[in-house]
Amino acid sequence: MKSDLPVLTPAPTRAPASGRASYLGLGYPFRLMVTLAAMLALAVIWLVARPGPGMAWLLTGVIAIAALLLIYLRTWMLWRARGRSADVLAALGAATADIPVRLRTRMPLVLVTGDDLAALFHRPDGERFAHVGDGAIWVRADRPQDLPRLAVALRQWRDGRAPDGVVLSVVPGRYPDADALAQSLRIARQAVADAARRLGSRPLPGYVAIYQRLTSAPADLATPQWYGVSSAQRITDAQRFESMIRAAESDAQAAPNAPVALARVAALASIVGWTQRTVIHALTDRQQPATPWALFGAGWIDCGPVAGARNPWTREVEMQTRVQRAQAAATPAPWPLPEPLIEALPQRHWMSPRRTALAHALALLACAAAFAFFFSANNNNALLARIGANLGRYSTIPAAHDAARRDALQALVADRDELDRYARLGVPLHLSFGMYRGISAMPLLNDAIASYLPPPAPPAVVTLDSMSLFDSGKAKLKDGSTRAMVHALEMIKARPDKRILVAGYTDNVGSPRSNRALSTARAEAVRDWLIDASGIPATQFAIQGYGDTRPIADNDTEAGRAKNRRVEITLVPDAPQA
């Protein structure tokens, strides 16, 4: 931050080289950023979030339409802005042809508006729209009302960087009275406020340059001397101007032409006070409707046109001293630009559009990563919740309900195969990002699957027709009946470790007691034959006579009674070994 400069002396300026250069910067890649945002959103939706197909396509359509609409609106706005600013950008390109593209954003750029801009921007080859000095780029705004449009065009020309300040040129000799000057100041103040609003930023730093002949001696513009204050902070008090006047008095006493220098200092003290009361007050008064202008500097120079009889400052001097000032000769053009005023120009934060786009791209990637982490965590929670629900359902199904238990087991096997596939081939994107926890469920699934025991096989039963084995009412095997028991013998030999139950049944003809005795005797006869034929110990056999208590058909018919007269040989699967 620079301190106040009591006496300001500018360095020599140089004229811009001829030629023409590109005047359109790359600017902020808005369409590229919209495309990137849309692609990241779609990637998160389809690869990580993975909603239902209907919802995914709906979101895709909404994002695509929104992106296309934003790109269209942005393109239309740029086309419209470039059309409105084409003349300004062309003039800037011609005036700053020798400035590298990157330097235009690094050099301060100051808008100049107010009085006698033709004299300030006059050059041997004619008037210029812009002037490139050693310390800044100066751009003229012939009408204060043009400031908003020029400010927007310059921001576009400088790749998004707004102008660094506005200099208001005030030539008291051009105004017939104080009211005309006040009206001009109000217009300038309103224009600066409108420009800041169009730029969407805080008020632009302001500087006031007063061009007024202070003495009747010829002005030496070879080394023009500015008197004023330039600060990196807003000017809020008058003490800085007083210190500047005292410094000017000290310099004047040591000057070679002391009488002229002292007269200039006396006039300077008068015009500084007038500037504070008339100009600065009008620009910063909070009672005015427009936003107060933030002033960071004010300067005066013994330069200007012939002062009229009703010059506002001359009229004030006459009213206070009753002495009419001597007329001084007008200063020939070009008049010096107030370059010393902006030496302490406050630094305004700015980032190039490419860096801004890079920062925004990183922010978009960070947002996409955050959403990816969020959805991946949700997907992993859903996976574990599904596996836990399947394990819980399997554990609550009784072993007797084998069909339901097998269905639940199939779900566990599918879950185990899914986790095994992830372990072999890699975790899919929607479960990754360090959130995958499915490996912890593998032991639980393996234990549950291994705990399944199929139900015992149903007993093997061979049913023999009693009439093919025995005569009616008899319990002795008939000759040739053993051929009917060959199948039962083969079954018993195939499973020698099983217990064999031989049960006899009759129809309802006869008394229940005789029927039960007959059925038991027939079962004993079949058992004895099987023991002899198989060599299996008798302890592995059991007999049972049920008589007519367990019919399998209707005893009212001959066919039904024939079915009920039977002997059943059953292998009991859970019998202990002999």
pLDDT at residue 279 in the model: 93
Query: What mean pLDDT is predicted for residues 114-126?
Result: 86
- Give the integer Cα–Cα distance in Å for 163 and 150: 9
Residues paired with residue 463 on neighbouring β-strands, in sequence order? 568
Could you tell me which residue, 81 or 147, shows the higher pLDDT?
147
Residue 131 has pLDDT above 90, yes or no: no
pLDDT, tens only, 219-258: 665 567 889 888 888 887 666 788 888 888 888 777 777 7
What is the b/e burial string over 477-501, where b = at least 16 CB atoms within 10 angstroms of the residue's CB? Answer: beeebeebbeebbebbeeeeebbbb
Which one of 22-26, 483-487, 513-517 scores highest in mean pLDDT? 513-517
The answer to whether the beta carbons of residues 498 and 575 sit under 8 Å apart is yes
Output the DSSP codes for 311-349.
Answer: -HHHHHHHHHH--PPPP-PPPPSPPPP-GGGGTTPPP--
Residue 9 has pLDDT above 50, yes or no: no
Q: Look at strands 165-170 and 206-212 and give their pairing.
A: parallel
Residue 85 has pLDDT above 80, yes or no: no
Query: What mean pLDDT is predicted for residues 526-554?
Result: 89
How far does CA 521 lie from the centroid of its chain?
A: 91
For residue 57, name the pLDDT band (cuts at 50, 70, 90): very high
